[in-house]
Amino acid sequence: MLARASRKLSPFLFVLPALVFVFLTMIYPLVFNFRLSLTDADLVSFVRGASAFIGLHNYARLLSDPELHNAFTVSIAYTLGSIALMYVLGFGLALYFNQRFGGRALMRALMLLPWVLPTVVSANIWRWMLDGTYGVVNYALIRLGLLDAPVFWLGNAHVALISVIVVTAWSIAPFAMLLLLAGLQAIPISLYEAARVDGASAWQRFRHITFPLMRPVSLMVLLLNFIYTFKTFDTIFILTRGGPGEVTTVLPILAYTRAFQFFRLAEGAAVNTILLVLPVVLSVIYFRIARREGEL
Amino acid sequence: MRRDFGRRLLSPFGVVLTCVYLFPIYWMVITAFKRPADMFAIPPDIVPAPPTLQGFNHAVIGNEAVFQGIVNSLVIASGSLVITLALGAPAAYGLARLRLRFTGLIILVMLAAQMLPTINLALPMFAIFSRLRLVDTYFALIVANVSLTLPFAIIIMRPYFLSVPSELIEAAMIDGCSPFGAFRRIVLPLVRPGVVVAGALTFLTAWGEFVFGLTLATSDGMQPITVVLNRFIAQYGTRWNELMAVSTIIALPIVLTFLFAQKHLVEGLTAGATKE
Protein backbone atom coordinates (compact mmCIF):
# COMPACT_ATOMS: atom_id res chain seq x y z
CA MET A 1 0.00 0.00 0.00
CA LEU A 2 2.54 2.50 1.22
CA ALA A 3 4.99 1.55 -1.50
CA ARG A 4 2.35 2.07 -4.16
CA ALA A 5 1.32 5.39 -2.72
CA SER A 6 4.91 6.57 -2.56
CA ARG A 7 5.52 5.46 -6.12
CA LYS A 8 2.54 7.48 -7.27
CA LEU A 9 3.70 10.43 -5.23
CA SER A 10 7.34 10.33 -6.24
CA PRO A 11 7.06 12.01 -9.66
CA PHE A 12 5.35 14.86 -7.91
CA LEU A 13 8.17 15.13 -5.37
CA PHE A 14 10.60 15.54 -8.27
CA VAL A 15 8.57 18.44 -9.59
CA LEU A 16 7.90 20.08 -6.24
CA PRO A 17 11.17 22.02 -5.70
CA ALA A 18 10.92 23.62 -9.14
CA LEU A 19 7.25 24.44 -8.57
CA VAL A 20 8.04 26.12 -5.26
CA PHE A 21 10.79 28.11 -6.94
CA VAL A 22 8.53 29.21 -9.79
CA PHE A 23 5.85 30.15 -7.29
CA LEU A 24 8.27 32.27 -5.26
CA THR A 25 9.94 33.97 -8.21
CA MET A 26 7.04 34.36 -10.62
CA ILE A 27 3.59 34.10 -9.01
CA TYR A 28 4.59 35.87 -5.80
CA PRO A 29 6.31 38.81 -7.54
CA LEU A 30 3.27 39.25 -9.80
CA VAL A 31 0.95 39.36 -6.77
CA PHE A 32 3.41 41.63 -4.98
CA ASN A 33 3.49 43.94 -7.98
CA PHE A 34 -0.29 44.24 -7.95
CA ARG A 35 -0.40 44.95 -4.24
CA LEU A 36 2.36 47.51 -4.65
CA SER A 37 0.33 49.22 -7.37
CA LEU A 38 -2.46 49.84 -4.83
CA THR A 39 -0.19 51.89 -2.57
CA ASP A 40 1.44 55.31 -2.75
CA ALA A 41 4.93 53.85 -2.37
CA ASP A 42 7.93 55.74 -3.61
CA LEU A 43 11.38 54.30 -3.11
CA VAL A 44 12.02 55.93 0.26
CA SER A 45 8.61 55.31 1.81
CA PHE A 46 8.65 51.73 0.58
CA VAL A 47 11.99 50.85 2.14
CA ARG A 48 10.86 52.45 5.41
CA GLY A 49 7.60 50.52 5.21
CA ALA A 50 5.73 53.81 5.41
CA SER A 51 3.61 53.58 2.26
CA ALA A 52 -0.17 53.74 2.47
CA PHE A 53 -2.95 51.84 0.71
CA ILE A 54 -4.74 54.08 -1.77
CA GLY A 55 -6.82 51.56 -3.72
CA LEU A 56 -7.07 52.06 -7.45
CA HIS A 57 -5.96 55.66 -7.30
CA ASN A 58 -2.77 55.01 -9.33
CA TYR A 59 -4.80 53.38 -12.08
CA ALA A 60 -7.34 56.18 -12.14
CA ARG A 61 -4.56 58.71 -12.49
CA LEU A 62 -2.72 56.72 -15.14
CA LEU A 63 -5.81 56.27 -17.28
CA SER A 64 -6.00 60.04 -17.72
CA ASP A 65 -2.24 60.42 -18.08
CA PRO A 66 -1.24 61.43 -21.63
CA GLU A 67 2.15 59.75 -21.15
CA LEU A 68 0.44 56.41 -20.65
CA HIS A 69 -1.79 56.94 -23.68
CA ASN A 70 1.29 57.77 -25.69
CA ALA A 71 3.19 54.72 -24.44
CA PHE A 72 0.27 52.47 -25.29
CA THR A 73 0.00 53.84 -28.83
CA VAL A 74 3.76 53.63 -29.32
CA SER A 75 3.77 50.05 -28.02
CA ILE A 76 1.07 49.02 -30.48
CA ALA A 77 2.68 50.84 -33.41
CA TYR A 78 6.12 49.48 -32.55
CA THR A 79 4.88 45.90 -32.15
CA LEU A 80 2.69 45.85 -35.25
CA GLY A 81 5.39 47.52 -37.34
CA SER A 82 8.05 45.11 -36.14
CA ILE A 83 6.06 41.94 -36.70
CA ALA A 84 4.79 43.11 -40.10
CA LEU A 85 8.33 43.74 -41.30
CA MET A 86 9.50 40.54 -39.62
CA TYR A 87 6.81 38.59 -41.43
CA VAL A 88 7.65 39.96 -44.86
CA LEU A 89 11.40 39.42 -44.34
CA GLY A 90 10.93 36.04 -42.70
CA PHE A 91 8.54 34.78 -45.37
CA GLY A 92 10.81 35.93 -48.17
CA LEU A 93 13.83 34.27 -46.58
CA ALA A 94 11.86 31.09 -45.90
CA LEU A 95 10.75 30.89 -49.54
CA TYR A 96 14.30 31.43 -50.71
CA PHE A 97 15.85 28.88 -48.39
CA ASN A 98 13.13 26.37 -49.15
CA GLN A 99 14.68 25.92 -52.58
CA ARG A 100 17.42 23.38 -53.18
CA PHE A 101 20.90 24.72 -53.78
CA GLY A 102 24.48 24.11 -52.69
CA GLY A 103 25.45 25.54 -49.31
CA ARG A 104 21.84 26.06 -48.34
CA ALA A 105 22.10 24.38 -44.92
CA LEU A 106 25.11 26.43 -43.88
CA MET A 107 23.63 29.73 -45.07
CA ARG A 108 20.32 29.01 -43.39
CA ALA A 109 22.15 28.30 -40.13
CA LEU A 110 24.22 31.48 -40.36
CA MET A 111 21.09 33.53 -41.01
CA LEU A 112 19.97 32.68 -37.49
CA LEU A 113 22.87 34.55 -35.88
CA PRO A 114 21.02 37.89 -35.53
CA TRP A 115 18.34 36.04 -33.59
CA VAL A 116 20.72 34.45 -31.06
CA LEU A 117 22.78 37.60 -30.57
CA PRO A 118 22.08 39.26 -27.17
CA THR A 119 19.79 42.22 -27.80
CA VAL A 120 22.20 44.51 -25.99
CA VAL A 121 24.82 43.67 -28.60
CA SER A 122 22.61 43.97 -31.66
CA ALA A 123 21.15 47.25 -30.45
CA ASN A 124 24.62 48.63 -29.85
CA ILE A 125 25.82 47.60 -33.32
CA TRP A 126 22.87 49.40 -34.89
CA ARG A 127 23.50 52.52 -32.79
CA TRP A 128 26.85 52.68 -34.51
CA MET A 129 25.57 51.87 -37.98
CA LEU A 130 22.71 54.38 -37.68
CA ASP A 131 24.94 57.11 -36.27
CA GLY A 132 24.05 60.40 -37.97
CA THR A 133 27.59 61.62 -38.59
CA TYR A 134 29.74 58.55 -39.20
CA GLY A 135 27.20 55.73 -39.56
CA VAL A 136 27.64 53.34 -42.45
CA VAL A 137 23.90 53.37 -43.21
CA ASN A 138 23.89 57.07 -44.05
CA TYR A 139 27.04 56.65 -46.09
CA ALA A 140 25.54 53.80 -48.13
CA LEU A 141 22.21 55.53 -48.69
CA ILE A 142 23.86 58.76 -49.81
CA ARG A 143 26.21 56.88 -52.13
CA LEU A 144 23.25 55.05 -53.65
CA GLY A 145 21.52 58.36 -54.17
CA LEU A 146 18.63 57.49 -51.87
CA LEU A 147 19.45 60.31 -49.45
CA ASP A 148 20.67 63.86 -50.04
CA ALA A 149 21.83 64.62 -46.54
CA PRO A 150 22.65 62.50 -43.48
CA VAL A 151 19.70 61.53 -41.28
CA PHE A 152 19.99 61.21 -37.50
CA TRP A 153 18.08 57.95 -37.46
CA LEU A 154 17.78 57.64 -33.71
CA GLY A 155 17.71 61.32 -32.79
CA ASN A 156 15.14 62.50 -35.29
CA ALA A 157 11.57 62.30 -33.97
CA HIS A 158 10.17 61.52 -37.42
CA VAL A 159 12.24 58.40 -38.05
CA ALA A 160 13.29 57.12 -34.60
CA LEU A 161 10.36 54.73 -34.26
CA ILE A 162 10.91 53.36 -37.77
CA SER A 163 14.60 52.83 -37.03
CA VAL A 164 13.81 50.94 -33.84
CA ILE A 165 11.29 48.82 -35.76
CA VAL A 166 13.86 47.94 -38.43
CA VAL A 167 16.40 46.87 -35.83
CA THR A 168 13.82 44.73 -34.04
CA ALA A 169 12.62 43.11 -37.26
CA TRP A 170 16.22 42.38 -38.24
CA SER A 171 16.78 40.36 -35.11
CA ILE A 172 13.46 38.45 -35.02
CA ALA A 173 12.96 37.76 -38.75
CA PRO A 174 15.34 34.74 -38.68
CA PHE A 175 13.13 33.15 -36.00
CA ALA A 176 10.07 33.73 -38.19
CA MET A 177 11.99 32.28 -41.12
CA LEU A 178 12.73 29.15 -39.10
CA LEU A 179 9.09 28.57 -38.15
CA LEU A 180 7.74 29.45 -41.61
CA LEU A 181 10.28 27.18 -43.25
CA ALA A 182 8.99 24.28 -41.20
CA GLY A 183 5.49 25.17 -42.42
CA LEU A 184 6.60 25.32 -46.05
CA GLN A 185 8.24 21.94 -45.82
CA ALA A 186 4.99 20.43 -44.56
CA ILE A 187 3.17 21.36 -47.79
CA PRO A 188 2.97 18.23 -49.99
CA ILE A 189 5.01 18.58 -53.18
CA SER A 190 2.31 16.73 -55.11
CA LEU A 191 0.09 19.82 -54.86
CA TYR A 192 2.66 21.90 -56.68
CA GLU A 193 3.21 19.21 -59.29
CA ALA A 194 -0.51 18.97 -59.98
CA ALA A 195 -0.74 22.75 -60.32
CA ARG A 196 2.22 22.78 -62.68
CA VAL A 197 0.60 20.15 -64.86
CA ASP A 198 -2.48 22.37 -64.99
CA GLY A 199 -0.26 25.19 -66.20
CA ALA A 200 -0.28 27.39 -63.10
CA SER A 201 2.41 30.09 -63.00
CA ALA A 202 4.81 30.48 -60.08
CA TRP A 203 2.79 33.42 -58.78
CA GLN A 204 -0.47 31.46 -59.07
CA ARG A 205 1.06 28.55 -57.21
CA PHE A 206 2.16 30.88 -54.43
CA ARG A 207 -1.17 32.73 -54.36
CA HIS A 208 -3.43 29.67 -54.38
CA ILE A 209 -1.38 26.93 -52.71
CA THR A 210 1.46 28.27 -50.56
CA PHE A 211 -0.22 31.29 -49.04
CA PRO A 212 -3.55 29.70 -48.02
CA LEU A 213 -1.84 26.60 -46.65
CA MET A 214 0.56 28.75 -44.66
CA ARG A 215 -2.23 30.67 -42.95
CA PRO A 216 -2.32 28.60 -39.71
CA VAL A 217 1.48 28.72 -39.30
CA SER A 218 1.50 32.42 -40.13
CA LEU A 219 -1.14 33.13 -37.51
CA MET A 220 0.89 31.36 -34.83
CA VAL A 221 4.12 33.10 -35.84
CA LEU A 222 2.45 36.51 -35.75
CA LEU A 223 0.68 35.91 -32.45
CA LEU A 224 3.75 34.53 -30.72
CA ASN A 225 5.94 37.35 -31.94
CA PHE A 226 3.38 39.98 -31.01
CA ILE A 227 3.58 38.70 -27.44
CA TYR A 228 7.38 38.61 -27.48
CA THR A 229 7.79 41.99 -29.16
CA PHE A 230 5.22 43.81 -27.05
CA LYS A 231 7.46 43.30 -24.01
CA THR A 232 10.68 44.57 -25.65
CA PHE A 233 12.80 46.65 -23.33
CA ASP A 234 16.55 46.26 -23.99
CA THR A 235 16.59 47.04 -27.70
CA ILE A 236 14.76 50.32 -27.28
CA PHE A 237 16.50 51.24 -24.05
CA ILE A 238 19.93 50.91 -25.67
CA LEU A 239 18.96 52.53 -28.97
CA THR A 240 16.98 55.58 -27.83
CA ARG A 241 16.14 55.37 -24.09
CA GLY A 242 12.57 55.92 -25.26
CA GLY A 243 13.37 59.20 -26.99
CA PRO A 244 13.65 61.57 -28.63
CA GLY A 245 10.93 63.10 -26.46
CA GLU A 246 8.72 60.09 -25.96
CA VAL A 247 8.53 58.92 -29.55
CA THR A 248 9.82 55.44 -28.72
CA THR A 249 8.65 55.17 -25.11
CA VAL A 250 6.86 51.81 -25.05
CA LEU A 251 5.04 50.59 -21.93
CA PRO A 252 7.97 48.64 -20.43
CA ILE A 253 10.19 51.72 -20.78
CA LEU A 254 7.51 53.86 -19.13
CA ALA A 255 7.23 51.40 -16.22
CA TYR A 256 11.01 51.45 -15.79
CA THR A 257 11.23 55.24 -15.97
CA ARG A 258 8.49 55.77 -13.39
CA ALA A 259 9.88 53.22 -10.95
CA PHE A 260 13.64 53.53 -11.35
CA GLN A 261 14.23 57.05 -12.59
CA PHE A 262 11.47 58.96 -10.81
CA PHE A 263 11.47 56.42 -7.93
CA ARG A 264 7.68 56.22 -8.04
CA LEU A 265 7.57 52.49 -7.42
CA ALA A 266 3.81 52.13 -7.08
CA GLU A 267 3.16 53.99 -10.32
CA GLY A 268 5.65 51.80 -12.14
CA ALA A 269 3.90 48.77 -10.71
CA ALA A 270 0.56 50.04 -12.00
CA VAL A 271 2.03 50.55 -15.48
CA ASN A 272 3.28 46.96 -15.22
CA THR A 273 -0.24 45.68 -14.62
CA ILE A 274 -1.56 47.61 -17.61
CA LEU A 275 1.33 46.31 -19.71
CA LEU A 276 0.28 42.77 -18.88
CA VAL A 277 -3.32 42.94 -20.15
CA LEU A 278 -2.76 42.53 -23.87
CA PRO A 279 -0.11 39.75 -23.69
CA VAL A 280 -2.32 37.76 -21.32
CA VAL A 281 -5.33 37.97 -23.65
CA LEU A 282 -3.21 37.06 -26.67
CA SER A 283 -1.44 34.18 -24.98
CA VAL A 284 -4.80 32.70 -23.99
CA ILE A 285 -5.77 32.85 -27.67
CA TYR A 286 -2.40 31.40 -28.65
CA PHE A 287 -2.70 28.47 -26.26
CA ARG A 288 -6.28 27.82 -27.37
CA ILE A 289 -5.25 27.55 -30.99
CA ALA A 290 -2.18 25.49 -30.12
CA ARG A 291 -4.31 23.06 -28.16
CA ARG A 292 -6.89 22.79 -30.95
CA GLU A 293 -4.15 21.93 -33.38
CA GLY A 294 -2.88 19.28 -31.02
CA GLU A 295 0.45 20.93 -30.47
CA LEU A 296 0.10 21.13 -26.75
CA MET B 1 17.83 25.87 -70.39
CA ARG B 2 16.59 29.06 -68.73
CA ARG B 3 15.41 27.19 -65.70
CA ASP B 4 18.81 25.54 -65.30
CA PHE B 5 20.55 28.89 -65.47
CA GLY B 6 18.26 30.27 -62.77
CA ARG B 7 18.99 27.31 -60.55
CA ARG B 8 22.70 27.82 -60.86
CA LEU B 9 22.29 31.40 -59.64
CA LEU B 10 20.56 30.29 -56.44
CA SER B 11 23.79 29.58 -54.59
CA PRO B 12 25.69 32.76 -55.43
CA PHE B 13 22.65 34.92 -54.79
CA GLY B 14 22.13 33.08 -51.48
CA VAL B 15 25.69 34.00 -50.50
CA VAL B 16 25.03 37.67 -51.30
CA LEU B 17 21.77 37.58 -49.34
CA THR B 18 23.43 36.03 -46.31
CA CYS B 19 26.35 38.46 -46.42
CA VAL B 20 24.05 41.48 -46.62
CA TYR B 21 21.89 40.23 -43.77
CA LEU B 22 24.86 39.49 -41.56
CA PHE B 23 26.70 42.69 -42.43
CA PRO B 24 25.96 44.33 -39.03
CA ILE B 25 27.77 41.50 -37.24
CA TYR B 26 30.72 41.85 -39.60
CA TRP B 27 30.70 45.59 -39.04
CA MET B 28 30.90 45.11 -35.26
CA VAL B 29 33.93 42.84 -35.47
CA ILE B 30 35.68 44.98 -38.07
CA THR B 31 35.13 48.20 -36.12
CA ALA B 32 36.55 46.57 -33.01
CA PHE B 33 39.82 46.00 -34.90
CA LYS B 34 40.11 49.51 -36.34
CA ARG B 35 42.37 52.29 -35.18
CA PRO B 36 40.44 55.21 -33.67
CA ALA B 37 41.34 57.48 -36.57
CA ASP B 38 40.22 54.96 -39.20
CA MET B 39 36.72 54.57 -37.76
CA PHE B 40 35.65 57.88 -39.21
CA ALA B 41 37.27 57.44 -42.59
CA ILE B 42 35.15 58.40 -45.59
CA PRO B 43 34.57 56.19 -47.47
CA PRO B 44 34.54 53.74 -44.55
CA ASP B 45 37.15 50.97 -44.70
CA ILE B 46 35.41 47.68 -45.34
CA VAL B 47 38.52 45.90 -44.09
CA PRO B 48 40.58 47.43 -41.27
CA ALA B 49 43.99 48.49 -42.55
CA PRO B 50 45.98 47.64 -40.58
CA PRO B 51 43.94 45.64 -38.05
CA THR B 52 44.83 46.54 -34.48
CA LEU B 53 44.05 45.20 -31.04
CA GLN B 54 44.05 48.70 -29.60
CA GLY B 55 40.28 48.68 -29.00
CA PHE B 56 40.45 45.41 -27.10
CA ASN B 57 43.54 46.53 -25.19
CA HIS B 58 41.91 49.74 -24.05
CA ALA B 59 38.36 48.65 -23.42
CA VAL B 60 38.70 45.05 -22.35
CA ILE B 61 42.13 44.06 -21.09
CA GLY B 62 43.19 47.37 -19.60
CA ASN B 63 39.81 48.20 -18.15
CA GLU B 64 38.98 47.14 -14.64
CA ALA B 65 35.24 47.84 -14.92
CA VAL B 66 34.87 45.62 -17.98
CA PHE B 67 36.94 42.90 -16.37
CA GLN B 68 34.75 43.07 -13.25
CA GLY B 69 31.66 42.97 -15.47
CA ILE B 70 32.87 39.83 -17.19
CA VAL B 71 33.59 38.20 -13.83
CA ASN B 72 30.14 39.18 -12.56
CA SER B 73 28.46 37.79 -15.66
CA LEU B 74 30.41 34.54 -15.35
CA VAL B 75 29.40 34.16 -11.70
CA ILE B 76 25.74 34.95 -12.45
CA ALA B 77 25.58 32.68 -15.49
CA SER B 78 27.33 29.77 -13.75
CA GLY B 79 25.17 30.11 -10.65
CA SER B 80 22.04 30.21 -12.80
CA LEU B 81 23.24 27.17 -14.69
CA VAL B 82 23.76 25.09 -11.55
CA ILE B 83 20.46 26.01 -9.91
CA THR B 84 18.46 25.69 -13.13
CA LEU B 85 19.73 22.18 -13.78
CA ALA B 86 19.50 21.08 -10.14
CA LEU B 87 15.83 22.09 -10.02
CA GLY B 88 14.95 21.65 -13.67
CA ALA B 89 16.23 18.16 -14.46
CA PRO B 90 14.24 16.41 -11.69
CA ALA B 91 11.21 18.53 -12.55
CA ALA B 92 11.39 17.63 -16.24
CA TYR B 93 11.70 13.98 -15.25
CA GLY B 94 8.75 14.20 -12.87
CA LEU B 95 6.66 15.96 -15.50
CA ALA B 96 7.46 13.22 -18.00
CA ARG B 97 6.11 10.63 -15.57
CA LEU B 98 3.22 12.53 -14.02
CA ARG B 99 -0.46 12.20 -14.93
CA LEU B 100 -1.42 14.19 -17.99
CA ARG B 101 -3.84 16.57 -16.29
CA PHE B 102 -1.21 18.09 -14.06
CA THR B 103 1.50 18.14 -16.66
CA GLY B 104 -0.61 20.09 -19.10
CA LEU B 105 -1.33 22.77 -16.53
CA ILE B 106 2.24 23.01 -15.26
CA ILE B 107 3.69 23.17 -18.76
CA LEU B 108 1.21 25.89 -19.62
CA VAL B 109 2.47 27.93 -16.65
CA MET B 110 6.08 27.33 -17.77
CA LEU B 111 5.29 28.50 -21.29
CA ALA B 112 3.39 31.51 -20.01
CA ALA B 113 6.43 32.41 -17.93
CA GLN B 114 8.40 32.95 -21.15
CA MET B 115 5.85 35.46 -22.30
CA LEU B 116 6.06 37.69 -19.23
CA PRO B 117 7.69 41.07 -19.75
CA THR B 118 10.91 41.00 -17.72
CA ILE B 119 10.12 44.37 -16.15
CA ASN B 120 7.00 42.76 -14.64
CA LEU B 121 9.29 40.57 -12.55
CA ALA B 122 12.22 42.95 -12.18
CA LEU B 123 10.24 45.72 -10.49
CA PRO B 124 8.56 43.63 -7.77
CA MET B 125 11.78 41.62 -7.29
CA PHE B 126 13.62 44.87 -6.71
CA ALA B 127 11.04 45.76 -4.05
CA ILE B 128 11.12 42.31 -2.44
CA PHE B 129 14.91 42.09 -2.44
CA SER B 130 15.14 45.63 -1.03
CA ARG B 131 13.06 44.58 1.95
CA LEU B 132 15.26 41.51 2.40
CA ARG B 133 18.38 43.68 1.99
CA LEU B 134 19.47 41.45 -0.88
CA VAL B 135 19.52 44.00 -3.69
CA ASP B 136 22.93 44.27 -5.31
CA THR B 137 23.99 40.71 -4.46
CA TYR B 138 24.87 37.77 -6.68
CA PHE B 139 22.12 35.88 -4.90
CA ALA B 140 19.40 38.25 -6.12
CA LEU B 141 20.77 38.33 -9.66
CA ILE B 142 21.03 34.56 -9.86
CA VAL B 143 17.54 33.96 -8.46
CA ALA B 144 16.11 36.50 -10.90
CA ASN B 145 17.84 34.88 -13.86
CA VAL B 146 16.71 31.41 -12.84
CA SER B 147 13.11 32.65 -12.79
CA LEU B 148 13.53 33.03 -16.57
CA THR B 149 15.73 30.05 -17.35
CA LEU B 150 14.09 27.39 -15.19
CA PRO B 151 10.71 27.20 -17.01
CA PHE B 152 12.56 27.31 -20.32
CA ALA B 153 14.96 24.50 -19.32
CA ILE B 154 12.14 22.29 -18.07
CA ILE B 155 10.28 22.57 -21.38
CA ILE B 156 13.45 21.76 -23.32
CA MET B 157 14.42 18.76 -21.20
CA ARG B 158 11.03 17.07 -20.80
CA PRO B 159 10.89 15.45 -24.28
CA TYR B 160 14.27 13.81 -23.61
CA PHE B 161 12.93 12.28 -20.40
CA LEU B 162 9.76 11.18 -22.21
CA SER B 163 11.89 9.09 -24.56
CA VAL B 164 13.28 6.97 -21.69
CA PRO B 165 11.23 3.75 -21.60
CA SER B 166 9.41 3.40 -18.28
CA GLU B 167 10.20 -0.36 -18.19
CA LEU B 168 13.81 0.60 -17.60
CA ILE B 169 12.89 2.66 -14.57
CA GLU B 170 10.56 0.01 -13.15
CA ALA B 171 13.25 -2.62 -13.59
CA ALA B 172 15.75 -0.49 -11.71
CA MET B 173 13.27 0.02 -8.87
CA ILE B 174 12.57 -3.71 -8.66
CA ASP B 175 16.31 -4.21 -8.39
CA GLY B 176 16.19 -2.10 -5.27
CA CYS B 177 16.87 1.39 -6.58
CA SER B 178 15.07 4.21 -4.80
CA PRO B 179 13.09 6.52 -7.12
CA PHE B 180 15.86 9.09 -6.83
CA GLY B 181 18.54 6.45 -7.32
CA ALA B 182 16.85 5.30 -10.52
CA PHE B 183 16.70 8.91 -11.70
CA ARG B 184 20.33 9.60 -10.93
CA ARG B 185 21.92 6.36 -12.04
CA ILE B 186 19.72 5.14 -14.87
CA VAL B 187 17.79 8.04 -16.37
CA LEU B 188 20.15 10.99 -16.09
CA PRO B 189 23.02 9.40 -18.08
CA LEU B 190 20.54 8.59 -20.86
CA VAL B 191 19.28 12.15 -21.24
CA ARG B 192 22.66 13.85 -21.07
CA PRO B 193 22.28 15.54 -24.51
CA GLY B 194 19.08 17.22 -23.35
CA VAL B 195 20.69 18.39 -20.13
CA VAL B 196 23.66 19.79 -22.05
CA VAL B 197 21.41 21.74 -24.44
CA ALA B 198 19.34 23.13 -21.59
CA GLY B 199 22.48 23.98 -19.66
CA ALA B 200 24.12 25.76 -22.58
CA LEU B 201 21.01 27.79 -23.30
CA THR B 202 20.65 28.69 -19.63
CA PHE B 203 24.22 29.89 -19.43
CA LEU B 204 23.96 31.93 -22.62
CA THR B 205 20.62 33.46 -21.65
CA ALA B 206 21.99 34.58 -18.29
CA TRP B 207 25.19 35.83 -19.97
CA GLY B 208 23.25 38.10 -22.31
CA GLU B 209 20.58 39.16 -19.79
CA PHE B 210 20.13 42.89 -19.31
CA VAL B 211 16.97 43.99 -17.46
CA PHE B 212 17.64 42.22 -14.15
CA GLY B 213 21.21 43.44 -14.21
CA LEU B 214 20.04 46.99 -14.82
CA THR B 215 17.50 46.97 -11.99
CA LEU B 216 18.96 44.64 -9.36
CA ALA B 217 22.67 45.53 -9.54
CA THR B 218 22.67 49.01 -8.08
CA SER B 219 26.43 49.46 -7.65
CA ASP B 220 28.92 49.55 -10.51
CA GLY B 221 30.97 46.69 -9.08
CA MET B 222 28.03 44.29 -9.19
CA GLN B 223 26.87 44.91 -12.76
CA PRO B 224 27.02 42.19 -15.40
CA ILE B 225 28.96 42.96 -18.58
CA THR B 226 25.80 43.85 -20.53
CA VAL B 227 25.00 46.65 -18.08
CA VAL B 228 28.62 47.81 -18.00
CA LEU B 229 28.38 48.15 -21.78
CA ASN B 230 25.27 50.26 -21.38
CA ARG B 231 27.12 52.49 -18.88
CA PHE B 232 29.96 52.90 -21.36
CA ILE B 233 27.62 54.11 -24.06
CA ALA B 234 27.20 57.30 -22.06
CA GLN B 235 30.87 57.52 -21.02
CA TYR B 236 32.64 56.54 -24.21
CA GLY B 237 30.61 58.67 -26.58
CA THR B 238 32.13 58.04 -29.98
CA ARG B 239 34.87 55.56 -29.09
CA TRP B 240 33.05 53.10 -31.26
CA ASN B 241 36.00 50.75 -31.66
CA GLU B 242 36.03 50.20 -27.90
CA LEU B 243 32.25 49.85 -27.68
CA MET B 244 32.36 47.30 -30.50
CA ALA B 245 35.25 45.47 -28.81
CA VAL B 246 33.16 45.01 -25.65
CA SER B 247 30.15 44.00 -27.77
CA THR B 248 32.28 41.43 -29.58
CA ILE B 249 33.38 39.96 -26.27
CA ILE B 250 29.75 39.68 -25.14
CA ALA B 251 28.71 38.07 -28.42
CA LEU B 252 31.68 35.70 -28.58
CA PRO B 253 30.54 32.81 -26.33
CA ILE B 254 27.11 32.84 -27.93
CA VAL B 255 28.35 32.90 -31.51
CA LEU B 256 30.94 30.18 -30.82
CA THR B 257 28.48 27.84 -29.11
CA PHE B 258 26.02 28.50 -31.86
CA LEU B 259 28.47 27.70 -34.64
CA PHE B 260 29.54 24.43 -33.03
CA ALA B 261 26.17 23.18 -31.82
CA GLN B 262 23.82 25.05 -34.09
CA LYS B 263 21.34 22.26 -34.71
CA HIS B 264 20.79 21.33 -31.06
CA LEU B 265 20.60 24.90 -29.82
CA VAL B 266 18.10 25.96 -32.46
CA GLU B 267 15.88 22.97 -31.76
CA GLY B 268 16.00 23.78 -28.06
CA LEU B 269 15.33 27.48 -28.52
CA THR B 270 12.40 26.88 -30.82
CA ALA B 271 10.89 24.29 -28.54
CA GLY B 272 11.32 26.53 -25.53
CA ALA B 273 9.66 29.48 -27.23
CA THR B 274 6.76 27.79 -28.97
CA LYS B 275 5.63 24.46 -27.63
CA GLU B 276 6.95 21.31 -26.07
- Classify residue B261 by its DSSP letter: S
In this prediction, residue A7 has a pLDDT band, given cuts at 50, 70 and 90, of low
Question: d(Cα B250, Cα B246) in Å, to the nearest integer?
Answer: 6
Three-class SS state of A39: strand
* Whether this model's pTM surpasses 0.95: no
Within the 29-58 window of chain B, which residues sit less than 8 Å (CB to CB) from chain A? 31, 39-40, 42-44
Task: Pick A14 or A292 by higher pLDDT.
Answer: A14
Mean pLDDT over each residue of chain B, to the nearest integer: 87
Q: Name which of B34-48, B174-188, B217-231 the model is least confident about.
A: B34-48
pLDDT at B1: 45
Residues B67-101: pLDDT tens digits? Answer: 999 999 999 999 999 999 999 999 999 888 877 67
Question: d(Cα B123, Cα A84) in Å, to the nearest integer?
Answer: 30
* pLDDT over threshold 70, residue B181: yes
Mean pLDDT of B103-108: 83
Residues A207-235: pLDDT tens digits? Answer: 888 888 898 889 989 998 999 999 999 99
pLDDT at B55: 83
CATH topology of domain B57-273: MetI-like fold (1.10.3720)
- What's the ipTM? 0.89
Question: d(Cα A13, Cα A19) in Å, to the nearest integer?
Answer: 10
Which chain A residues have a beta carbon less than 8 Å from that of B226?
118, 120
Mean pLDDT over each residue of chain A, to the nearest integer: 89
Among B239, B270, B268, which residue's Cα sits nearest to residue A172? Answer: B270
Whether A12 sits inside 8 A of B94 (CB atoms) is yes
Query: Where would I find the H helices in B175-261?
Result: 179-181, 188-190, 192-208, 211-216, 225-236, 240-260
List Cα–Cα distances, B17 to A96, A110, A174, B11, in angstroms: 10, 11, 13, 10
Within the 217-276 window of chain A, which residues sit less than 8 Å (CB to CB) from chain B? 220, 224, 227-228, 230-231, 233-234, 237-238, 252, 255-256, 259-260, 265, 268-269, 272, 275-276
